[in-house]
Structure 1
Amino acid sequence: MTADRSSRARAIGRILGAGHVLQALTVGRTRSEAWENASVGVDVLHALSMLLFAGYSENYRRLAALDALVAGAWATSAWLAARRS
């Protein structure tokens, strides 16, 4: 992997990480059903987009598939938690 591609991958990872932190803070502070549902939707869309990316990119296939798995797990756990409350 070239240095340019590696720096782009790091930048994208940081942006996605910041988005996860912002999402968690927003849902954690508001505790509203609408935000919880939106959070589940964001995680589902994230998982689907990573599955598409995994199918497209040979270089990042394993990483994108792992990210899709994690996002899917977060969506599932958030959905289950929302159903319990």
Structure 2
Amino acid sequence: MTILLFGITKDIVGSSTLSVPTSSATGRKIPKTVKELKEFLGETYPELNKLSSLAVAVNNSYANDSETINAYDEIALIPPVSGG
């Protein structure tokens, strides 16, 4: 599963994309929902947990935590945005 990263999320991870395993070969639970993906990423990159908010888009639409995800979805992490 490939995730597109923007803003501070890109800085935290150190890349504009991130691959998340879609098999249990790693011994970790495979994320099946947006909530599980956020938890997986928070364990892997604890700095993400410090963000005031973190939106997830699945296939170009904002997704709630209960939305199911799979390896073929286009997923993006959208950090809080400030502006003036």
* TM-score bracket for the superposition, by shorter chain length: under 0.3
1 or 2, which has the higher helix percentage? Answer: 1
TM score, norm. by length of structure 1: 0.27
1 or 2, which has the higher strand percentage? Answer: 2
The answer to which structure, 1 or 2, has the higher relative contact order (CA under 8 A, 6+ apart) is: 2
Who wins on radius of gyration, i.e. which is larger?
A: 1
TM score, norm. by length of structure 2: 0.27
